[in-house]
Structure 1
């Protein structure tokens, strides 16, 4: 039911984390296909995935683990060596509802807590596609990528800032490589006001990023993009929609106003060199 609050138990969290791991693995593979080489990897690990797409990519991470027991130490040794050989730290995104023994295992190996991100969700019910939003055409993909990347670069100052900063070209490549997504354009007075993307994984509508051009912020653009994706999720037969935001951000406030509930947080655990940034420019949400 549309108005019913969504409770997240361990089974639902595991389902969402599997979908996230699949998105990362497929997008990491798309990065290698774009380049035409085999540098990097996306390998199963402890029920999740360990991925290196390319230098400084948002798909360089370990995700989805914590629901299949504590990782094997020798297997994690191999993962750490694989990242080290490519000059990258190991970043693990660990769900709050994962086995607590996994967190203890990782901190015991020298992983440090750097940040958090929130996962929110809602049931998908009947929704109407709003005026002012349309699908992105194939012939305007480059414009969409450029506009959204520029909007991401001007982050909102509310909430916990992202611990990561990505070069503009890397953001564009990551959005291009995001596997299986539909893209949307929001317009105001004939101008590009914002963009968003969405994909379906095992009945989950994954809202895979949205950004509003700064001059058009606080004008309902992100709300319209949320409603558009909810309408498409309903048409696709999804039962839930999920979105990731920075904690305490305007994006989190916006999605909660659209009926999303805070399901859980992910702890960002890092071992190795990591550049901590206060810019908040990432591939998630910018109001």
Structure 2
């Protein structure tokens, strides 16, 4: 029996899920603050709600969401009223992401208020420590940290990858214009460790990682369409896992679409399914 088949899958309890969801809420709040600095106005907001955060960056942004609910009890209805009114004032839906290990009363409350389930996401985890995972070095592929001097190169490749998602598995429920994706990635760029992958010297893929409270959030990775099926995603994954372990994190997490190539690649590298996030939406005017 080899090491991969002999290992014990990572188990996620409510405590660990709460830690991961709080990390996600902090990241969304920090990205929202960065967006406000870029825009130089007060159009956006960050509002604490039920142990999590409601964030709004700008119209149609992927950063517009409620994260981290359900690990400090259900949100106060009056606080939820204020959140819903803030989104409605901007003509935006409320998108609440609720972990399957959160307090079940949260889902009941949202359903009673007219939220509808639109999609689900899988949260995968990898225990770190005890030695970093080995590198992955496909022929011609080089992965290294990306500095500010090549920020535009990194942005170009990760946005291009996002605009052409892999067709395997359940598709993302949302689609975003290029400009909106560029803004969101630029806002997050100062909060994450960025990685650029080159194939035979040509920029081919990129990824990022946010570290907080011992949690390494793999906050995105993509390969430009013309360079796929060359091992770039696996190389980006391995590089970030090694750096996360060196930084002292005890767990790495990634959010993927069910049945996607990203989930398949992550599970090949030792990630386990921890829990599911339900994505619920309340449209303006409901």
Q: Distance in 1 between matches of 2:196 and 2:135?
A: 12
2:270 to 212, 236, 259: 259
2:176 maps to 1:166: yes
The residue number in structure 1 matching 2:214 is 203
Q: Give the secondary-structure state (helix, strand or coil) at the position aligned to 2:85.
A: helix
Question: How far, CA to CA, are the matches of 1:175 and 1:88 in structure 2?
Answer: 20
For residue 127 of structure 1, what is the aligned residue in structure 2? 133
- The residue aligned with 2:200 is 189
Give secondary structure in 2 for the equivalent of 1:259. coil
Aligned residue among 213, 238, 241 for 1:227: 238
In the alignment, is the contact (CA less than 8 A) between 2:31 and 2:187 conserved in 1? yes
Determine if the alignment matches structure 1 residue 249 to structure 2 residue 255. Answer: no
Select 2:64's aligned residue among 60, 63, 77: 60
Distance in 2 of aligned mates of 1:191 and 1:4: 39
1:210-221 aligned at under 5 Å gives the runs 210-221=221-232
SS of the residue corresponding to residue 14 of structure 1 reads helix
Alignment gaps of 5+ in structure 2: none
Cα deviations across residues 219-268 of structure 1 (Å, max 9, x unaligned)? 11000000000010011000000000011101000000000000011000
Question: Please, which moves more after superposition, 35-44 or 45-54?
Answer: 35-44
Say yes or no: does 1:13 pair with 2:23.
no
Secondary structure of the residue that 1:224 maps to in structure 2? helix
In 1, Cα distance between the equivalents of 2:226 and 2:169? 20
- 8 Å CA contact 2:28–2:63 kept in 1: the answer is yes
Structure 2 length as normaliser, TM-score?
0.93
Q: TM-score, normalised by structure 1?
A: 0.92
| Distance in 2, Cα, partners of 1:66 & 1:11 | 12
The match for 1:31 among 35, 39, 44 is 35
**Structure 2 equivalent of residue 108 of structure 1:** 112
User: Which structure 1 residue ranges, 5 or more long, are not aligned?
Assistant: 274-287
**Residue 154 of structure 1 corresponds to which residue in structure 2?**
164
Q: Deviations over 1:141-197 (max 9, x none)?
A: 011101210111111111111111111111111111115201101111111111000
Runs (4 or more) in structure 1 with deviation over 6 Å come to none
**Using the alignment, how far apart are the partners of 2:118 and 2:38 within structure 1?**
31
Match of 1:69 in 2: 73
CA–CA distance in structure 2, aligned partners of residues 53 and 92 of structure 1: 15
Aligned Cα RMSD in Å?
A: 1.6
90, 97, 118: which one aligns with 1:93: 97
CA deviation vs aligned residue, 1:73-119 (integer Å, no higher than 9, x gap):
11111110000001100000000001111101110110000000110
Instruction: Give the number of equivalent residue pairs.
Output: 274
